[in-house]
Chain A
């Protein structure tokens, strides 16, 4: 499955830089200080920063591990143009230990790369490219392996096969926490009846709960925004749930793009110049960046007061700073945006309808836009009414690059965008700058070649004004569609109320007239019939406004909506961490 490429030269060299620096310090005091300088082991780093990586508690560790593995599997399948078929199995080993087994039908990994991918932190193919994908850093799955190793002492077991003609390779791996290097426990070649694919087995300390932040809900939401994937899930109670694919159509293949100059920062520019193969600055800009023509490249150099023929390697910090300023000052066309792949209005609706039994659904896919040189695209959908509770805050479903975001709702740019949109015009109630109240679910998906998260755990989207603006525009567009419906519905219910009102009081008119005028019973009936006719003629025919939802799947909808066993809300749970 894992299509991770070995690290580029640039990244490797920068890793060794730290140790070089240490050798250079030769002054007496520095000697003393140097005693204290030692390489920080990845295990120590992990221990101190596990919350950044999404392993802050046992419940979250389970989710994060599944999420990292599923993200990688889906990315690999899509890269290889394979309709994903995943199996996720959680086994309760008792005493807070769980075994996670995840298997896919992806392209597989060549033998040589397997140990590094699963047992070396910060090793991956995605960090150095700008491409819409679920994984970004090359940290997730090896962090999960490390977590499992630290909490159970057991190795991560990998099996992978790349074609029907090759045997499957199996590894049991440990991470050498001092050196951040894989240690091979066991190595094997074996028969596997799959044509290609990868299987991971991992033991870890964890706890399993149902509810909004559960693995169950994560997989369900993943299925909603990945309608091309089939996921077979066996939960710790040994119940099997099958999320079958809703479409055979794979998402548009996402293209890799070079960075756009507007997104570059000085440190990155210096690094890129240092490791560039380009002979001149002019060609450096043209080759390493998107949307830089030779004229634009020259303009940047001249504005910075640097010769275009300068060797990038020899450029100094001062020049780099001037180049950055020059880039900001130069008009460069926006990066290509055909590299992002949205879910699409139709599929988003389909997923939502399966999950929620509402009266009204709408979805909006915005045109792509750009923040800091990175193309991104926003989608929003709303489900309204029906069985949704009307007196609570609306439920928010957040997605980034087709990955559900289950934690840190309050810190997310999506939440901020929702709170700062005026929903009252659209038929929801809302107190100022807060999440609206009403029978609705709001879905937002942000797709980008570089989705900006607030932390490595990828739980919340950072607050870039360009992104917030686009999300709000998408919400407003969806909101206007909602308003059309809520207004129509209000007219309908008003009319209904009036009609029942009429029917309620009509008999009394007949009854009173009959008594005052001493009419016959038949006269009274005639009065009522005529009145009905008179009033009906005035009001016209009544038309139903609700949409039919044939896609609703009750079983499916229940997943993740169970009461959490501990009864804790997200906020409480996070406070306790």
Chain B
């Protein structure tokens, strides 16, 4: 019996025992929020502080309580049958639960996250996989995968032309072959396209990964495993705005509050932020937009509440600088000089000068 099934059964056993003793049963799980994480500077990721939430069986909780147990049962069945279910499929499975069905998928996703946190595993281990695409890869990398018959196949990421290799939802079994010098993780698909089209990876001997906003778990895990196995540094290139700093980069590097129970596996602690920094906006005289109200709020919130910012005074300084300027700039803003300025000037300069990075 797998460890996950053992955990599931042991939780169910506790619930059953309480009921047999005529005591209201409890489900206990860590609180999933920024308030309940600390930054572990040694290993470089967000760690759970250990605050837990107890969901006692009562009138107001009985529906979620029943749904949690039902989903645990579905997970057990999936693992036993060596099957998988997407989050969306799981939501449809619940339609067979009568009154206990989920009305909307977010309800079912939340319960899934609860179970994941309760037994401290990744949802893929429960047999649940996300719908989202993991990210796009191009450059000097060969991914060693298996086809549906279990036969090993090699995917060469230099052979996609102007296209890209797509990171699968589960990356645990992948192996890599590469002689690239570094990984460049890029926020927008547009910038990724430009770098691919002009063969930047050839010039710089690197692997390009498009995150498409906040990286998915699969994408984070892919970068982590690739970086760990091949001892490659990871550089991150996002827009110069609080979303790029605090949502995209911070999540990739140290994890998120919501997934704190699994950050350990899904963070990329050796990631470095090469730009666009608030200082870059000044140095490169980039065209800017004024900060929106949500941007200002996010910066202030980050300075006040984000344990990662608390630990990194450079980041705090950068955020305060941005707040003072009241301006943000996009990756594409370098096109002001000419379309390939980012390839010819910006990236080479930045990669050379570590002092301009934020980590």
Q: Which residues of A contact B99 (CB under 8 A)?
A: 504-505, 508
Q: A508-B69, A509-B69, A517-B13 are in contact. Are A530 and B63 (CB under 8 A)?
A: no
Whole-angstrom distance between the Cβ of A505 and the nearest chain B Cβ: 5
Nearest-neighbour CB distance to chain B for A329, whole angstroms, equals 66
Residues of A within 8 A of B100 (CB): 505, 508
Supposing A505-B100, A530-B20, A530-B22 touch, asked if A512 and B8 sit within 8 A by C-beta, the answer is: no
Residues in B with CB closer than 8 Å to A515 are 73, 76
Q: B345: shortest Cβ distance to chain A, in Å? A: 60
Do A517 and B69 touch (CB < 8 A)?
no
Chain B at the A interface: SS class:
helix
CB distance from A524 to the nearest CB of B (A): 10
Partner of B62, one of A501, A513, A519, A530: A501
How far, in whole Å, are A533 and B59 apart by their CA atoms in the complex? 13
Q: Which of B66, B67, B76 has the most CB of A within 10 A?
A: B66
B12 at the interface (CB under 8 A from A): yes
Residue interface mask A498-527, B partner, CB < 8 A = 1? 110110111011011101110100010011
Measured between beta carbons, the chain B residues less than 8 angstroms from A527 are: 16, 19-20
Nearest-neighbour CB distance to chain B for A99, whole angstroms, equals: 66
Please state if A516 and B73 are interface contacts (CB–CB under 8 Å). yes
Contact of A512 with B19 in the complex, beta carbons under 8 Å: no
B31 to chain A, nearest CB (A): 23
Q: B85 within 8 Å of A by Cβ?
A: no
Q: With A505-B63, A505-B99 as given contacts, are A516 and B76 in contact (CB-CB < 8 Å)?
A: yes
CA distance A235 to B231 in the complex (A): 103
Q: How far is the CA of A389 from the CA of B13 in the complex (A)?
A: 51
A531 at interface, CB cutoff 8 A: yes
Contacts of B276 in A (CB 8 A): none
Interface hub of A501, A509, A523, A526 (most chain B Cβ within 10 A): A509
The answer to whether B19 and A535 touch across the interface, beta carbons within 8 angstroms, is: no
Q: Which residues of A contact B67 (CB under 8 A)?
A: 508
Indicate if the CB atoms of B24 and A512 lie closer than 8 Å. Answer: no
- Which residues of chain B are near A530, meaning CB under 8 Å? 19-20, 22
A523 to chain B, nearest CB (A): 8
User: Does the CB pair B16–A519 fall under 8 Å?
Assistant: yes
Number of interface residues of A (CB under 8 A): 26
Chain A residue contacts of B13, Cβ below 8 A: 517
Q: Is A194 an interface position by the 8 A CB rule?
A: no
For residue A534, CB closer than 8 A to chain B, the reply is yes
A534 and B22 CA atoms in complex are apart in Å by: 6
The tally of residues in B whose CB lies under 8 Å from a CB in A reads: 29
The CA of A105 and the CA of B162, in the complex, are separated in Å by 108
| Nearest residue, chain A, Cβ from B100 | A508
Q: What residues of A have a CB within 8 angstroms of the CB of B22 in the complex?
A: 530, 533-534
A509 (CB) vs chain B CBs: closest residue: B66
- Whether, in the assembled complex, A538 has its beta carbon less than 8 Å from a beta carbon of chain B, the answer is yes
| A469 in the interface (beta carbon within 8 A) | no
Q: A527-B16, A527-B19, A533-B22 known; A513 and B69 CB under 8 Å?
A: yes
Q: Which of B12, B19, B60, B72 is in CB contact (< 8 Å) with A531?
A: B19
CB distance from B126 to the nearest CB of A (A): 13
B341 at the interface (CB under 8 A from A): no
A527 and B67 alpha carbons, distance in the complex (Å): 16
CB distance from A500 to the nearest CB of B (A): 10
The answer to whether B12 touches A517, judged by C-beta atoms less than 8 angstroms apart, is: yes
Verify if B51 is at the interface (C-beta below 8 Å from A): no
A513 to B18, CA, bound (A): 12
Interface membership of B58, Cβ < 8 A: yes
The CA-CA distance from A508 to B59 in the complex, in Å, is 14
Determine which residue in A508, A515, A535 has the highest number of CB atoms from chain B within 10 A of its CB, and name it. Answer: A508
Mask, A525-555, CB within 8 Å of B = 1, is 0110011011100110000000000000000
Per a CB cutoff under 8 Å, which of B19, B20, B58, B70 touches A538?
B58
Contact B97 A508 (CB under 8 A): yes
The answer on a CB contact under 8 Å between B98 and A508 is yes
Q: Decide: B65 and A509 in contact? CB cutoff 8 A.
A: yes
How far does the alpha carbon of A516 sit from the alpha carbon of B6 in the complex, in Å? 10
Query: How far is B63's CA from A535's CA once the two chains are assembled, in angstroms?
Result: 14
Determine whether the beta carbon of A499 is less than 8 Å from that of B59: yes
Determine how close the nearest CB of chain A comes to the CB of B338; give it in whole angstroms: 62
Residues in chain A near residue B70, CB distance under 8 A: 508, 511-512
Distance from A288 Cβ to chain B, minimum over Cβ atoms (Å): 72
Tell me the minimal C-beta distance from B177 to chain A in angstroms: 43
CB distance from A516 to the nearest CB of B (A): 4
Residues of B within 8 A of A501 (CB): 59, 62-63
Cα of A530 to Cα of B9 in the assembled complex, Å:
20
What chain A residues lie within 8 Å of B57 (beta carbons)?
A: 509, 531, 534-535
Give the distance in Å from the alpha carbon of A506 to the alpha carbon of B19 in the complex. 12
Chosen A-B contacts, 25 in total, with CB atoms closer than 8 Å, are: A498-B59, A498-B60, A499-B59, A501-B62, A501-B63, A505-B62, A505-B99, A508-B66, A508-B69, A508-B70, A508-B97, A509-B57, A511-B70, A512-B12, A512-B66, A512-B70, A513-B19, A515-B73, A515-B76, A516-B12, A516-B72, A516-B76, A530-B20, A535-B57, A538-B58
The 5 nearest A-B residue pairs measured at CB:
A512-B69, A508-B66, A498-B59, A516-B12, A508-B100
Sample of 4 further A-B pairs with CB below 8 A, known A504-B99, A513-B69: A508-B97, A509-B57, A513-B15, A534-B22
